[in-house]
Structure 1
Amino acid sequence: MTTSLDGAIPATGRDAGVPWHYGDPLVEQRRAARYAGVVDRGHRDVVTVSGPDRLPWLHSITSQHFAALADGASVESLVLSPHGHVEQHWQATELDGTVWIDTEPGAAADVLGYLQKMIFMKRVEPRDVSADWSVVSLIGPQTVAVLIAAGLPVPEQVGRAIALPDGGFVRRMSWPSDDAADLLVPADRAAATVATLAAAGAEPAGSWAYEALRVEARRPRLGFETDHRTIPHEVGWINRAVHLDKGCYRGQETVARVQNLGRPPRRLVLLHLAGESDELPEAGTPVELAGRAVGFVGTAVHHHELGPVALAVIKRSLPDDAALLVDGYPVAVDSEA
């Protein structure tokens, strides 16, 4: 579950239950981008999968190569529909005979339902443990220094995790900043973990800061930069959450076809929004060209350097200089890769 909201402005919507900011969100972003920030992400759901068949089983029913996943390895993975559309997005970590899956707030029921439906005769046991565990994220270039100052283990590279003495683990991440770490800790230790990292030099930062850095990094989020038609190629999940050299899994035909033929129908872009209004567009707001919808806005946020920006999914055929509008205001596509 979540840590204490004392002294914080609470987030709303999908991120309700964790701090949105602590009073000065742009300063929080700046310090997190330049030094280190600690973010309560305890609203994320957590599912575990144990049992001797867990790795080959997950390998067969998801987009990721789980079969030979080493102890301490962490990967992103997707569940696709039979037609290759994205249904679920996981961060999965194999540690001490258990695969730990953390996913979007409120998504555990869908994850668990899918896993239970696919068990058949396999020796696996999926469980929703969201009430018992919390995710705390450390972001920024001083991530390693803060972990050391806090007396916590430091995985040697991105995509690796190390167990914590009281349960859970620390895993190195490459986003939303260039260096970051997620800590999975017992829920009753989450507030203490945030305090420990803050005392070691990390600035307490809310979900606003985390989302701003994620948008800057052009990293998609399920349910914001995805809809019922999204395929992995459109939002940059190929080679991150989809392994291209593995056997059959649901939705693989679409992945292989687009990979071989190229040119998915849409692409993920960063939009610079007009500054005429302080109100940001909601996720799902149409992106329009000459009065016609040509895409949709995902996450929109005020960034400490870029100003009002948003991720959006638009038709691939649109040039970067197309005269696009959102809520009647002009927007500019940032073509930087």
Structure 2
Amino acid sequence: GEEGLGLSVATCGLEAVLGHFNRFLPPRLARVEDLGDRVGMLTVLGPEAGDVVAAVLGAAPAEGFVLLDGGPLGEQADGEAGGALVARAVEQVPSWDVWLPAAGMPAAWERLGEAGAAPVGQAVWDTLRIEAGYPAFGTDMDETTIPVEAGLVERAFDHDKGCYTGQEVIVRIRHRGRVNWHLRALRFGEAAARPGDQLFEAGGGKVRGRVTSVAQSPRFGQAIGLGYVRREVEPPATLRLERGLGAAVGVELAEPRAAGSHR
């Protein structure tokens, strides 16, 4: 049978990804198919997330990508959810991404409610991913971002693999070079920061970074964010939201250890 590779891609990045494949992937080797109208994804998170997923799908999730309920990602005649592909969403929080046939999504949503799950919005996911140091495509990075800048190399690249498009840049940076910007976790306290704000060195006027994401964090009890900071600024450090005596911003390491999908 045919082998395949599934990619979960942010909607805002789909066109760029398909364009990249159409340009670099020879049709004789593989074909690319957009399954967005046939497969949907739900994220279940919270202390009881594993139990809720087990109650809905009939089997407990495990680390890695696991096919539950015995079947492939295919629609059933009765519209039930059928087989489901499950993977850990965010390492720091009990959470699971569940891929289902689109026809089974309404039934799965109803079962989640019956199992005790409550719907939340995009803002909750943004808070969790920012707390976890997880960059979002279209917000914290785009097709021009060097993966080393976003801290994705160790999680997303296989250094022992054969040749692939863009390998030269990654290898050169790893062995002989460096990047000028690094994704960092930011702590704003009570300051009103916004994506796009510049960060300045304390006591000076030089721009040392920029904010890309902001959320109010119950976990940290303050506004937090992600942003890119010059390599000369070694965490932990303090920058300012404005030149001179602007609000202090704590700069910490952002370690995107999350295993899940970009929204």
What does residue 42 of structure 1 align with? none
Contact map agreement 1:266 1:314 (CA 8 A) in 2 = yes
1:322, distance to aligned residue in structure 2 (A) = 4.4
Q: Deviations over 1:229-284 (max 9, x none)?
A: 5322222212311111111112111211222246432222111114144xx402x3
What does residue 243 of structure 1 align with? 158
1:234 matches 2:149? yes
1:148, distance to aligned residue in structure 2 (A) = 1.8
Distance of 2:32 and 2:132 partners within structure 1: 32
Going from structure 1 to structure 2, the CA distance change for 1:176 and 1:303 (only over 3 Å counts) comes to: farther
Give 1:267's match in structure 2, choosing from 156, 177, 182: 182
What does residue 259 of structure 2 align with? none
Contact map agreement 1:288 1:324 (CA 8 A) in 2 = yes
Distance of 1:257 and 1:129 partners within structure 2: 35
* Letter of the 1:118 counterpart: F
- Please give the secondary structure, in 2, of the residue aligned with 1:268: strand
Q: Deviations over 1:126-150 (max 9, x none)?
A: 1223233321111234222112222
Normalising to structure 1: TM-score of the pair? 0.63
Going from structure 1 to structure 2, the CA distance change for 1:145 and 1:262 (only over 3 Å counts) comes to: farther
What does residue 209 of structure 1 align with? 124
What does residue 281 of structure 1 align with? 194
Q: Which stretch shows the higher mean deviation, 198-207 or 116-125?
A: 116-125
Going from structure 1 to structure 2, the CA distance change for 1:170 and 1:295 (only over 3 Å counts) comes to: same
1:110 matches 2:16? yes
Going from structure 1 to structure 2, the CA distance change for 1:170 and 1:228 (only over 3 Å counts) comes to: closer
Distance of 1:330 and 1:144 partners within structure 2: 39
Distance of 1:295 and 1:160 partners within structure 2: 39
- Please give the secondary structure, in 2, of the residue aligned with 1:235: coil
Contact map agreement 1:175 1:214 (CA 8 A) in 2 = yes
What does residue 113 of structure 2 align with? 198
What does residue 133 of structure 1 align with? 39
Normalising to structure 2: TM-score of the pair? 0.78
Going from structure 1 to structure 2, the CA distance change for 1:322 and 1:194 (only over 3 Å counts) comes to: same
What does residue 300 of structure 1 align with? 214
* Letter of the 2:199 counterpart: V
What does residue 232 of structure 2 align with? 317
Aligned length: 240
Gaps of 5+ in 1: 1-50, 53-96
Distance of 2:178 and 2:101 partners within structure 1: 44
* Letter of the 1:296 counterpart: R
What does residue 171 of structure 2 align with? 256
1:297, distance to aligned residue in structure 2 (A) = 1.1
Q: Deviations over 1:263-312 (max 9, x none)?
A: 432222111114144xx402x33222233322221211111122210011
What does residue 260 of structure 2 align with? none
Going from structure 1 to structure 2, the CA distance change for 1:300 and 1:257 (only over 3 Å counts) comes to: same
- Please give the secondary structure, in 2, of the residue aligned with 1:332: strand
* Letter of the 2:198 counterpart: P
Q: Map 1:66-145; keep pairs closer than 5 Å.
A: 97-145=3-51
What does residue 330 of structure 1 align with? 248
Give aligned-pair identity as a percent. 25
- Please give the secondary structure, in 1, of the residue aligned with 2:149: helix
RMSD: 2.7
Gaps of 5+ in 2: 256-263
- Please give the secondary structure, in 1, of the residue aligned with 2:86: strand
Q: Which stretch shows the higher mean deviation, 170-179 or 237-246?
A: 170-179
What does residue 76 of structure 1 align with? none
Determine which structure has the larger strand proportion and give its number.
1
Contact map agreement 2:133 2:254 (CA 8 A) in 1 = no
Contact map agreement 1:271 1:312 (CA 8 A) in 2 = yes
Contact map agreement 1:139 1:177 (CA 8 A) in 2 = no
Distance of 2:143 and 2:30 partners within structure 1: 29
